[in-house]
Amino acid sequence: MACVRQHPAFVDRVQAFSAQLCAGVFRTCFFLEKTGRRWGKLHPRWRGEMKGRTSRNPGKLFMKRDTPAPWKQWGDNLEEGAVEQMRNACLLPIAMIGALMPDAHQGYGLPIGGVLATRGAVIPYAVGMDIACRMKLSVLDLPVSSLKDQQERLKRAILEETSFGVGATFRKRKQHPVMDDSWSITRITESLKDKAWSQLGTSGSGNHFVEFGELVLERDELGLKAGVYLALLSHSGSRGSGNEVATHYSRIAQLLRPELPKEMRNLAWLELGSEEGEGYWSAMELMGRYAAANHELIHRAIATNLGVAVLLDVENHHNFAWKEAHAGEDVVVHRKGATPAAAGVVGVIPGSMATAGYVVRGKGNPASLSSASHGAGRRMSRKAAKEKCSWSEASVFLAKRGVTLISGGLDEVPMAYKDIEAVMAAQSDLVEIVARFNPKLVKMAPGGGAEG
């Protein structure tokens, strides 16, 4: 059988035809839906927002940049998959500049630890599936000796005031002004209000946690004298509602960008100013307020349970998109597993269930888009951790550091994570260390797993 060499022009025509075909099928689906004749099955929530819509560029051949937008990485020996994902993101025509943090590992679309500035567009998958996943630290007016002397009291406060696990809810709904916000801004957020309310104040699963520990201040900082304090630290996001918003708009973006090659499908974007883009942005910001409310309720409830005052709060998102100005240009900065680190901005970078976390102050490094890592970063996948790690090994690790684990998954043991000290050293030009947090009493979902 003869071998036929494919001429580049021929390949281009085939790709263009494929894009036209996809766009044509896409238009036909919505035409039939609009006229009442059904062909195939569309997600019910698309029918209101997407009825009659077509690709923004029907039949247009996807054009990568000739060379990637400039980007820089921090840290050595990063996963090749994460580096490749960053490179692909910087080939997008909307990309301006990117950065890869030292805790980076492979994700969907933009890698975890990836930062990307785009012009006039937002990428749902570059924000992440857990929109507004965030940190909050509260310094409590309790002696640090309470970590040992009153451990059962502290443990009971966590168990009584929040809930862990996929789909965790409260029978009696918590109250917060965020539920008085306009959830009808999009059809999907309107449909999720009841679910969101039932999960308000819960912590979820995976790497989410609530823990007590020691906060060590080497010098007077943040309105506190140098010393060792008892602090409460939490990590969680917008729960199942944020996941559904992310899934919904990611699918819409992919339908509107049928010309994207397979390896870039999860980088499909929505144009700001379009109905879809503005809808996503409004929903994302609502999920941000909702996630902040979750943390506020958890910290307030635990402090009230213990009957103590809060001396200091520090908090930040690390899965979000912001409208910012960089290099004299207005852009959208996506931080997917990255901490905002503009000059003087204070944030929290955790380690693992038995290694230190840090309160940091940003240095505003323009090369990183004023960003830093969001944690230590995974050294191995969840599956690999379950296969290679053991509870006997983890128990020894925890005991050496004086950590009591209330519950947690084997996929979250310290051995599954990178060395936080090496990560912090690799980003000394991005943040300065303000305080060190040593976890002592840790609560996570029993089985680990992904958030839902």
Element (H or E) spanning 437, and its range?
Answer: strand 431-444
Beta bridge partners of 210: 234, 443
Number of C-alpha atoms within 13 angstroms, CB side, residue 407? 14
> 101 and 374 in contact (C-beta within 8 Å)?
yes
> 321 and 116 in contact (C-beta within 8 Å)?
no
DSSP track, 16-78: HHHHHHHHHHHHHHHHHHHTT---S---TTHHHHHTT---SSTTPPP---SSPPPEEE-SSS-
Q: What does the DSSP 8-state code read for residue 430?
A: T
DSSP track, 207-260: T-EEEEEEEEESS-BTTB-SEEEEEEEEEE-SHHHHHHHHHHHHHHHHHH-TTS
Closest CA to 379 of 115, 8, 82: 82
Catalytic site residue 105? no
| CA distances to 7, 398, 408, 414, 443 from 394, in Å | 57, 6, 11, 7, 15
The three state secondary structure string of 161-178 is HCCECCCCCCCCCCCCHH
Q: Which residue has the tokens 């409830």?
A: 301
> 432 and 396 in contact (C-beta within 8 Å)?
no
Measured CA angle at 273 (ends 268, 279), to 5 deg = 70
Check 105, 235, 299, 374 and give the catalytic one.
Answer: 374
Closest CA to 290 of 134, 111, 91: 134
Q: Which residues are catalytic?
A: 374
